[in-house]
C-alpha cells in the first residue's frame, strides 16, 4: 500500500496491484470478462493506498468509458464483479486444508443519469473484508500500466500480463503451473479449449502477441510433457531492452484501431525520401497526386457498401427476421455460441422499459455488453 500511495502521488499511468489479489484464482467455471477485468483494475487504481481500508471508494464514469458516451455497460460490469467468486487455499477451523471462496465487491452504487449529463456520473463501491485482507497482507505487488491494461483485447492476455508484472523483477521471473492451475488462474472454462493445440493457439499465442506489444516485458513458455500430453507449463518473463521499451511507450500512445495490423506487420510504411539537390530531380506534382490517389483508393476499397443507418430500436421478434441483421451479427460475434434469440429474450427482460429509450450506438453497445455478460454468467453451451 505504501507503493500504491507513492505511485498515486506521482500521477502517472503506473499503479500497484497487490500480489495476492493478482494470484487469486477463479472458482471453477467462473471468470471475469475483459471489460469487468479492466474495471477491477481501474478500481484498484482509484482506491490507491487506501484500498485495504473499510471505506467506500469513488470513480467518475467518464474514467471507465474511455470517451464513449454510453453508460449501459457499467451496470453490467458492476453486477458481474458482484457475482463472480474467487478462491484461495486456506485452513479450516480444525486446521485442515480448505478452499475459501469469496467475492471482491460487497457494495456498489451507480449514479443515475440526470440533467447534469453523463459526464457528472460517479460510481461508488466497497471491497469485501476478504478482499481487504488480501490487499493488506500482500507482501508483493505488480506495477501495471493503465494504458496497457485498457489496451488489451483478450481477458487471458490481461491476466497473464498481471502475473508477469508480479514476477518480472524477481531473481527468477518464472511461473510454473499445471493445466488445472493455468485454467484457474486465467479463468479458462473447463469445457473450452480441451485440446492443448487449440488452447495454445487461442489463448497462449494471442496473449503473448498482445503482451509483447503492450507490456514492458516479453513472455515465453516451455511445455512439459508426459508422453504426448502437456502436463505443465513454465512461463518466463523477460524485460525489454531500452529501444524496445521506447517502442512500447510509442505504441501505447498510438490509436488502438491499427494495433493488430501493426503487430502482425500488415501496415504499409510510407517512406519520404530526402529532398533532391537539383530542380531537375524534384518529384513532379503529378507523381505525388498519383501516390495519394493510389493510397486513397486502397483504403476506400476496404469499405464495403455504405455505412449502416443507426439502429432505431431493438426488434420485438426474432433477430433472424428483416430488421434484426445488425443485432444478429453482434450476437453471433459476442454470444459465445448461444442461441441469439434466447439471449435477446433475456435482454428484453433485463432492460424492461429502459429498452424503449435506447437507440443508435447506445443500443448496439448495450446489446453487445449484455451478450458478453451473458456468456460470462452462463459459460459456453455444451
Amino acid 272: pLDDT: 53
Those residues whose C-beta lies under 8 Å from the C-beta of residue 275, and which sit 6 or more positions away, are none
Count Cβ neighbours within 10 Å for each residue of 316-330 and write b for 16 or more, e otherwise: eeebeeeebebbbeb
In this prediction, residue 288 carries a pLDDT of 52
Beta strands in 248-379 (DSSP E): none
3-state secondary structure 314-339: CCCCCCCCCCCHHHHHHHHHHCCCCC
In this prediction, residue 368 carries a pLDDT of 84
Do 1-91+99-150 and 152-275 agree at the fold level?
A: yes
Question: Where in the chain are the domains?
Answer: 1-91+99-150, 152-275, 325-378
pTM for the whole structure: 0.66
CATH topology of domain 1-91+99-150: Arc Repressor Mutant, subunit A (1.10.10)
Residue with cell 460487497: 106
β-partners of residue 199 are: none
DSSP 8-class letter at 216: S
Measured between alpha carbons, how far is 354 from 68 in angstroms, rounded to an integer? Answer: 19
Kindly provide the b/e burial profile for residues 235-258, where b requires at least 16 CB atoms within 10 angstroms of the residue's own CB.
Answer: bbbeeeeeeeeeebeebbeeeeee
Nearest to 123 by CA among 62, 69, 79, 60: 60
Under CATH, what is the fold of the domain 152-275? Arc Repressor Mutant, subunit A (1.10.10)
pLDDT at 113: 64
Task: Give residue 79's pLDDT.
Answer: 92
Residue 306: its pLDDT value, please? 45
Q: What is the pLDDT of residue 201?
A: 92
- Contacts of residue 321, defined as CB under 8 A and 6 or more positions apart, other chains included, come to 315
Residue whose grid cell is 496491484: 17
Position 190 scores a pLDDT of 81
Q: Which residues make Cβ contacts (< 8 Å) with residue 281, sequence separation at least 6? A: none
101: three-class secondary structure by DSSP: strand
- Predicted pLDDT of residue 30: 79
Consecutive 10-residue averages of pLDDT for the chain (382 residues): 70 84 85 90 89 90 64 82 90 92 92 58 92 89 90 93 91 92 89 90 94 93 92 93 82 77 66 53 52 50 45 78 80 85 88 83 83 77 69
**Closest C-alpha among 118, 65, 72 to residue 363:** 72
Amino acid at each position: 500500500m505504501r507503493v500504491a500511495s507513492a505511485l498515486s502521488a506521482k500521477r502517472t499511468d503506473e499503479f500497484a496491484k497487490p500480489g495476492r489479489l493478482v494470484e487469486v484464482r477463479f472458482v471453477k467455471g467462473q471468470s471475469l470478462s475483459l471489460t469487468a477485468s479492466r474495471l477491477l483494475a481501474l478500481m484498484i487504481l482509484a482506491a490507491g493506498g487506501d484500498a485495504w481500508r473499510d471505506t467506500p471508494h469513488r470513480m467518475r464514469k467518464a474514467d471507465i468509458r474511455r470517451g464513449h458516451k454510453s453508460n449501459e455497460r457499467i451496470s453490467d460490469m458492476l453486477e458481474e464483479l458482484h457475482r463472480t467468486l474467487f478462491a484461495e487455499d486456506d485452513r479450516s477451523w480444525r486446521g485442515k486444508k480448505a478452499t475459501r471462496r469469496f467475492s471482491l465487491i460487497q457494495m456498489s452504487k451507480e449514479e443515475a443519469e440526470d440533467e447534469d449529463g453523463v459526464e457528472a456520473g460517479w460510481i461508488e463501491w466497497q471491497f469485501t473484508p476478504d478482499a481487504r485482507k488480501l490487499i493488506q497482507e500482500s507482501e508483493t505487488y505488480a506495477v501495471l500500466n493503465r494504458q496497457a491494461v485498457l489496451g488489451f483485447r483478450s481477458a487471458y492476455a490481461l491476466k497473464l500480463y498481471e502475473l508477469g508484472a508480479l514476477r518480472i523483477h524477481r531473481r527468477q521471473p518464472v511461473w510454473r503451473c499445471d493445466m488445472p492451475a493455468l485454467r484457474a488462474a486465467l479463468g479458462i472454462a473447463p469445457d473450452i479449449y480441451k485440446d492443448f493445440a487449440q488452447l495454445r493457439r487461442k489463448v497462449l499465442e494471442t496473449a503473448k502477441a498482445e503482451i509483447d506489444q503492450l507490456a514492458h516485458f516479453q513472455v515465453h513458455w516451455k511445455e512439459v510433457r508426459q508422453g504426448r500430453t502437456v502436463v505443465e507449463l513454465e512461463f518466463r518473463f523477460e524485460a525489454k531492452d531500452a529501444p524496445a521499451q521506447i517502442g512500447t511507450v510509442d505504441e501505447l500512445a498510438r490509436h488502438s484501431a491499427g494495433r493488430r495490423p501493426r503487430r502482425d506487420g500488415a501496415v504499409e510504411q510510407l517512406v519520404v525520401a530526402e529532398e533532391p539537390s537539383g530542380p531537375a530531380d524534384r518529384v513532379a506534382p503529378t507523381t505525388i497526386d498519383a501516390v495519394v490517389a493510389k493510397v486513397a483508393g486502397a483504403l476506400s476499397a476496404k469499405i464495403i457498401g455504405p455505412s449502416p443507418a443507426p439502429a432505431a430500436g431493438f426488434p420485438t421478434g426474432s433477430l433472424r427476421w428483416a430488421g434484426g441483421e445488425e443485432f444478429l451479427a453482434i450476437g453471433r460475434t459476442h454470444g459465445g455460441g448461444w442461441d441469439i434469440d434466447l439471449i435477446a429474450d433475456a435482454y428484453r427482460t433485463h432492460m424492461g422499459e429502459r429498452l424503449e429509450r435506447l437507440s443508435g450506438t447506445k443500443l448496439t453497445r448495450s446489446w453487445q455488453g449484455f451478450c458478453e455478460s451473458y456468456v460470462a454468467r452462463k459459460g459456453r453451451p455444451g
